[in-house]
Chain A
Amino acid sequence: MSAGVIAKTVRGFTGALAQTLVAESSAHEHGLLQGLDPRVKLVGMLGLVVAAALSRKLVVMAALFGLGLVLAVASRLSLWSLAKRVWLVAFGFTFMIAAPALFLTPGEAVYRLPVGSLAITAQGMRSALVLVARVETAVTLSTLLVLTTPWMHLLKALRTLMVPVEVIILLAMTHRYVVLLTETANAMFESRRSRMVGRLNGHEQRRLMVNTGGVLLSKTLEMGNQVFLAMQARGFRGEVRLLTDFRMRGWDYVAICGFAAAATAAVVAGR
């Protein structure tokens, strides 16, 4: 991969991250999930994620994934964008973990590799598929929650569920500096490019990567500290405060019942 492609990818990633996490553009759309009380969304999505994690049947996971798709469309989220930013990435990571199960799970061989004695078994395929489906479903539902809820509302909803202040501070700070951090990584990468002449061999590239990672880690710690000080300086004590108070309406009660019914049905059917 050329340096230009990497730089473009890093820039694209930074822009997308900034737009998604900081501008919260999709959280302010007038869609189904955006209209719900954040506490209802949090509890409801958490219930569906737990149901997906407990389920052993592909058809149940497919149904939960389908529900996620319906909710995404009703919330005016782009499926293409979800596919690019969420499903593809989740699939890549999960497949790397699931791939060994294709060969290591004992069972009936469905395909034998031309080299060596390794074979993909039917049971292995099913195990890998279940893992991938479970992760894709859980990630999709969690992403829907994050994309349709302003971050501070989400933190306040977590606080109402008795999540400790320390965890809230950690989440708040992470959100604050994630864009700064990616911008720093971008700047470091470009600065490195501007001073590089010729090509580095594999060993030199690895060394450079490790060094860059180390510097970035130090900057992360420093930046985290700075952001926290800036928040403290304006009175932040860990409690999330908003201009609007959460208020349950009729539609929220219907939604929480719907989430509860879907999660319960998935747990029962998925056993």
Chain B
Amino acid sequence: MPEGKWSEVGLQPEALEFEAAGVRYEYERVAALQGLSLEVRAGERIALLGANGSGKSTLLRLMDGLHFACAGTLRFRGAALTEAAMEDDEFALGFRRRVGMVFQNPDIQLFNPTVFDEVAFGPLQLGWPREEILERVHGTLEWIGAEHLKDRAPYRLSGGEKKRVALASVIVLDPDVLLLDEPTASLDPRSQSQVIELLESWNDGQKTVITATHQLEILGEISGRAIVLEQGAVVADATPAEVLANAELLESANLIHSHRHLHGGVPHKHPSPYLRHEHHKH
């Protein structure tokens, strides 16, 4: 595969989308990812699990071509994601068309004067025709149930609305791969389920979706494969059910914790409620 070119075979079911081999990334000499290797295939819905600082967000940023590996290689459809490749306009815009990312903090991502402008921002950057942009933006706003918010300033929206608009601002591009960084973090239960329902309904689950989260309760709904990261490396790669059943793994990855409490004045210890098949008698 020539440098700076990718194959379109990613559109075929189970074709290789991302391929990471021995990836290392450092923030000011502190390793955030070290020797990370994994493969992502088209149509997969993957959950990246890990405690704070485990490297989930960093990996997403590398996959979105925002940061670049210090060592090892990360490829998208066979093309290496390097700084030099992303400096090429044709490569970068083609990549942005195919891979979208929703950031953890919607305040960072929502920077336009109105919700409409926000959703139209991506298509405008990619140079789509005006009529197509208008049609797509209206359609996407309707899909997230935010048509009535189109003239509002994004900074005035509620947390749940901001998250939905942030999602719409990426979904409008109809990317083949969607990267989500903690999509339901700090949302109330209703907003959380709204966001999950939107993700489930998006293109009937046919696209590749990679979600970084440490919320085990949404794992089954958002993924068919769970990758657990610990100190910047993959420590488990299995189905959500297998991961959720492995208390030792979840505890070592800091995703659950045993806690003590009192029952009738007797000190008492049991694991997290997220563990499946956990029968706990009081």
List chain A positions with a Cβ less than 8 A from chain B.
18, 22-24, 150-152, 176-177, 179-180, 223, 226-227, 229-237, 241-243
CB distance from B26 to the nearest CB of A (A): 16
- The answer to whether the Cβ of B195 comes within 8 Å of any Cβ in the partner chain is no
Interface residues of B in 200-226 (CB under 8 A from A): none
Name the contact of B170 in the complex, choosing from A151, A226, A234 (C-beta under 8 A). A234
- Asked whether B153 lies within 8 Å of A18 as measured between CB atoms, the reply is yes
- The answer to whether the Cβ of B92 comes within 8 Å of any Cβ in the partner chain is yes
8 intermolecular pairs with C-beta atoms under 8 Å apart: A22-B155, A151-B113, A177-B111, A230-B111, A233-B101, A234-B122, A237-B125, A243-B133
Name the contact of A241 in the complex, choosing from B66, B107, B125 (C-beta under 8 A). B125
- Specify the chain B residue showing the minimal Cβ separation from A226: B108
Question: How far does the alpha carbon of A150 sit from the alpha carbon of B97 in the complex, in Å?
Answer: 27
- Asked whether A243 lies within 8 Å of B89 as measured between CB atoms, the reply is no
Name the contact of B124 in the complex, choosing from A226, A227, A232, A242 (C-beta under 8 A). A242
- Specify the chain B residue showing the minimal Cβ separation from A27: B113
The majority secondary structure among interface residues of chain B is helix
Name the contact of A23 in the complex, choosing from B64, B113, B169 (C-beta under 8 A). B113
| Cβ–Cβ < 8 Å partners of A242 in chain B | 124
- Asked whether A241 lies within 8 Å of B124 as measured between CB atoms, the reply is yes
- Asked whether A180 lies within 8 Å of B108 as measured between CB atoms, the reply is yes
- The answer to whether the Cβ of B38 comes within 8 Å of any Cβ in the partner chain is no
- Asked whether A176 lies within 8 Å of B101 as measured between CB atoms, the reply is no
Interface residues of B in 88-110 (CB under 8 A from A): 89, 92-93, 96-97, 100-101, 103, 105, 107-109
Nearest 5 pairs of A and B residues by beta carbon = A235-B125, A234-B122, A176-B111, A235-B96, A241-B124
- Asked whether B125 lies within 8 Å of A234 as measured between CB atoms, the reply is yes
Question: How far does the alpha carbon of A223 sit from the alpha carbon of B111 in the complex, in Å?
Answer: 12
| Cβ–Cβ < 8 Å partners of A24 in chain B | 113
- Known contacts A226-B103, A233-B100; 10 additional CB pairs below 8 A are A22-B155, A23-B113, A151-B113, A152-B112, A176-B111, A180-B108, A233-B101, A234-B121, A237-B89, A242-B124
- Asked whether B92 lies within 8 Å of A243 as measured between CB atoms, the reply is no
- Specify the chain B residue showing the minimal Cβ separation from A235: B125
Most buried by B among A150, A226, A235, A237: A235
CB distance from B221 to the nearest CB of A (A): 25
- Asked whether A227 lies within 8 Å of B111 as measured between CB atoms, the reply is yes
Question: How far does the alpha carbon of A18 sit from the alpha carbon of B96 in the complex, in Å?
Answer: 30
- Specify the chain B residue showing the minimal Cβ separation from A241: B124
| Cβ–Cβ < 8 Å partners of B153 in chain A | 18, 22-23
Contact mask for chain B residues 58-70; partner A; CB cutoff 8 A; 1 contact, 0 none: 0001001010000
**Contact-residue size bin, chain B (C-beta under 8 Å from the other chain):** 20 to 34
| Cβ–Cβ < 8 Å partners of B92 in chain A | 235, 237
- Specify the chain A residue showing the minimal Cβ separation from B166: A230
Name the contact of A150 in the complex, choosing from B108, B113, B173 (C-beta under 8 A). B113
- Asked whether B130 lies within 8 Å of A243 as measured between CB atoms, the reply is yes
Contact mask for chain B residues 179-213; partner A; CB cutoff 8 A; 1 contact, 0 none: 00000000000000000000000000000000000
- Asked whether A229 lies within 8 Å of B124 as measured between CB atoms, the reply is no
- The answer to whether the Cβ of B134 comes within 8 Å of any Cβ in the partner chain is yes
- Asked whether B108 lies within 8 Å of A22 as measured between CB atoms, the reply is no
Given contacts A23-B153, A24-B113, whether A236 and B125 have CB atoms under 8 Å apart is: yes
| Cβ–Cβ < 8 Å partners of B173 in chain A | 234
- Asked whether B155 lies within 8 Å of A241 as measured between CB atoms, the reply is no
| Cβ–Cβ < 8 Å partners of A227 in chain B | 108, 111
- The answer to whether the Cβ of B48 comes within 8 Å of any Cβ in the partner chain is no
- Asked whether B66 lies within 8 Å of A235 as measured between CB atoms, the reply is no
| Cβ–Cβ < 8 Å partners of B241 in chain A | none
- The answer to whether the Cβ of B238 comes within 8 Å of any Cβ in the partner chain is no
CB distance from B77 to the nearest CB of A (A): 18
CB distance from B154 to the nearest CB of A (A): 8
Question: How far does the alpha carbon of A234 sit from the alpha carbon of B121 in the complex, in Å?
Answer: 7
Interface residues of B in 116-133 (CB under 8 A from A): 117, 120-122, 124-127, 130, 133
- Asked whether B155 lies within 8 Å of A18 as measured between CB atoms, the reply is yes
Question: How far does the alpha carbon of A241 sit from the alpha carbon of B126 in the complex, in Å?
Answer: 9
CB distance from A185 to the nearest CB of B (A): 14
- Asked whether A233 lies within 8 Å of B103 as measured between CB atoms, the reply is yes
Most buried by B among A151, A152, A243: A243
Question: How far does the alpha carbon of A234 sit from the alpha carbon of B97 in the complex, in Å?
Answer: 8
Question: How far does the alpha carbon of A121 sit from the alpha carbon of B89 in the complex, in Å?
Answer: 62
| Cβ–Cβ < 8 Å partners of A179 in chain B | 155
- Specify the chain B residue showing the minimal Cβ separation from A151: B113
| Cβ–Cβ < 8 Å partners of A22 in chain B | 113, 153, 155
CB distance from A174 to the nearest CB of B (A): 11
- Specify the chain A residue showing the minimal Cβ separation from B111: A176
Question: How far does the alpha carbon of A23 sit from the alpha carbon of B157 in the complex, in Å?
Answer: 13
| Cβ–Cβ < 8 Å partners of A243 in chain B | 120, 124, 130, 133-134
| Cβ–Cβ < 8 Å partners of B169 in chain A | 234
Question: How far does the alpha carbon of A99 sit from the alpha carbon of B141 in the complex, in Å?
Answer: 55
